[in-house]
Amino acid sequence: MGTMAQPVILTIDDDPAVSRAVARDIRRRYGDRYRVVRADSGSGGLDALREIKLRGERVAVLLADYRMPEMNGIQFLEAAMDLFPAARRVLLTAYADTDAAIDAINVVDLDHYLLKPWHPPEEKLYPVVDTLLEAWAASPDQASDEIRVVGHRWSAPSFAVRDFLARNLVPYRWLLTDDPEGGRLLAAAGADATDVPLVVTPDGKALVAPTEAELAAVAGLTVAPAADFYDLVVVGGGPAGLGAAVYGASEGLRTVLVERRATGGQAGQSSRIENYLGFPDGVSGAQLTDRARRQALKFGAELLSTREVVGLESAGAARLLHFGDGSTIAAHTVVLATGVSYRVLDAPGLADLTGLGVFYGAASTEAPSCVDQDVWIVGGANSAGQAAVHFSRYASRVHLLIRGADLTASMSSYLIQQLERNDRIVVHPHTEVVGGAGDGHLERLRLRDTRSGDVREVDASWLFIFIGAEPRTEWLDGVLARDERGFIVAGPDLTAGGRKPPGWTLARDPYHLESSLPGVFAAGDVRASSVKRVASAVGEGAMAVSLVHRYLEAQ
């Protein structure tokens, strides 16, 4: 995030001459190692401290004059302790105020008081400050050059912010509102525990309950396209989309990838993928996503975040995509790689607890909070198995709930073997969730035996759901051919029975991954009858680019 700022020495005096003198003497001795900040009032000093706190900088020493109007030096130092408790505190006093200074030792844990004038500083000022700086350096405030997030443990908006940053591989520090540092940041931002989530950027900008677009901007993610027209627009940043972006850009196509939330898709949330070619020791979804992102950027692809595509239309030889904010982007060709989303578990009580103990997908940000607790997972495919292994490193017990008799029909053999060897994981066959309840967060689950119909209630604070696959392609209704479940029909499936798809005007048949709209291709899980594996999705992304070239050459 840049070079760490020098620690601060703050001086406060309402007498301009004295203020300049103390700042001058301090700067002369320590200016090469510390940043000297000067204020002319207690309120001005607190404003400066709040700004310093939000920027994640450190304060080493505070020197405050005792006799100041509105807020005297003792009152200032007492307030400053709430922001920088580790800073060393010095009171500047006249001889007549020594009794007040002595009393302040107990009130604000004063480190020292200096009588004015302090000349010569070599004898009366510097030895005192040297000692205080040595003491501070032994246990300084921790500087921060990363995004800080302050929120509640059970807060859906707080979880949404953390999940967005984590899935976009943006480092951040998580602080609870009742943590001392979390409280200090809230105070510095002029907020309280109800104003969460609070996001503080490395340069000191404070955002209360920011939108994903605002988060993307402060995290340095690109949100606006650099041009109006491209050779290729890739919609969706999962393995198929990233594969298309890498191959498109590397082969000289002006390529932009548009992602609604975070690159990586469902695969990006996987704690460990062990059957991906070339990674014998496995690779996390985040690692694979990060490498693919960097590879796409290296070849010149643009990656746009927090941009939702809501419409697609043909505009002559161009294909026009409409964003949710009303803007558009055009290209010769489009690759749709929007993947699938987990299906919502329709059981009473769960909807109101989403983000409050009920989560869809791995939600890896929550794993450290599950230490020594029971975790419940719904689903029997690889993603659920990978999550079970991951959470077993933290939880005392992981319960995997499946409707069938066993996992063999839906999970890879290597994962089943891992689950069987892990004594912290228990598989519950013939079991489904039929309800959940809790006051402010999940506390109980109702489970039903699918054979007998018997229902039991269990204590539960954590439920992670990995069921079904919905393509969420409603925005393509009436534009592209889709099957009854909403998956995009492409290639030979469009010409079943020897007839071309309705509205198809070209003499040739659709290319293998081409949709019912020429020049628009489908890759990965969103395509009907696709193989739901990371490797096949990447392969289809690459194949789509080769078909894009064939399409462009024929124009």
Give the model's confidence band at 42: pLDDT under 50 very low, under 70 low, under 90 confident, else very high.
very high
Q: For the domain 351-359+369-387+397-463, what is the CATH code?
A: 3.50.50.60
* Lowest-confidence segment of 107-116, 127-136, 171-180, 247-256 by average pLDDT: 107-116
**Predicted confidence (pLDDT) at residue 96 exceeds the cutoff of 90:** no
pLDDT of 363 reads 79
Q: Which pLDDT does position 1 carry in this prediction?
A: 43
Q: What is the per-residue pLDDT across 498-552, written as a single tens digit (0 to 9) for each?
A: 888 988 989 999 999 999 999 999 999 999 999 988 999 999 999 999 999 999 9
- Is a pLDDT exceeding 80 seen at residue 304? yes
Q: Kindly tell me the burial class for residue 79, based on how many C-beta atoms sit within 10 Å of its own C-beta (0-12, 13-18, 19 or more).
A: middle
Decide: 42 and 10 in contact? Cβ < 8 Å.
no
**CA 18, 21, 23, 29 torsion: positive or negative?**
negative
Q: How confident is the model at residue 368 (pLDDT cuts 50, 70, 90)?
A: confident
Supply the mean pLDDT for the chain.
92
147-219 fold:
Glutaredoxin (3.40.30)
Superfamily of domain 229-341+470-554: FAD/NAD(P)-binding domain (3.50.50.60)
pLDDT digits (tens, 9 = 90+) for 184-228: 999 999 999 999 999 999 889 999 999 999 999 988 899 999 999
Please give the average per-residue pLDDT across 217-242, as a whole number: 95
CATH number, domain 8-138: 3.40.50.2300
Domain layout of the chain by residue ranges: 8-138, 147-219, 229-341+470-554, 351-359+369-387+397-463
pLDDT at 528: 96
Q: Return the H-helix or E-strand segment holding 221.
A: none
Nearest to 167 by CA among 309, 290, 276, 273: 290
Instruction: State how far the Cα of 300 lies from the Cα of 63, in Å rounded to an integer.
Output: 52
Per CATH, 8-138 and 351-359+369-387+397-463 having the same topology is answered no
CA atoms within 13 Å, Cβ hemisphere of 200: 30
